Structure 1
Amino acid sequence: DEFIGAEELRLLQLLRDTLEIDKLLAAAIERGARARHMPL
């Protein structure tokens, strides 16, 4: 699914804050996850 709901975004933000992951690293992880699930 292409769209992330507000609840999912809030959960991801909570995880980033809890694990102390900076925004740039989080963006890289999210981009990698999107690329992994793209059809070839």
Structure 2
Amino acid sequence: MADDVCHACFGSKRTYQLPETFWATTVGGLLCVFAVAVAVF
């Protein structure tokens, strides 16, 4: 997850394997959970 390069073949990683995609998905998911929690309370 640390680099944009595959350590096995030294090629570019696919979009879903990039660190930016991981963090964007994680932050988006947390924001959704927070929004639902705020809406419920």
TM range (shorter): 0.3 to 0.5
- Structure label with greater radius of gyration: 2
Q: TM-score normalised to the size of structure 2?
A: 0.43
Larger RCO, structures 1/2 (Cα 8 Å, 6+ apart): 2
TM-score (structure 1 length as normaliser): 0.43
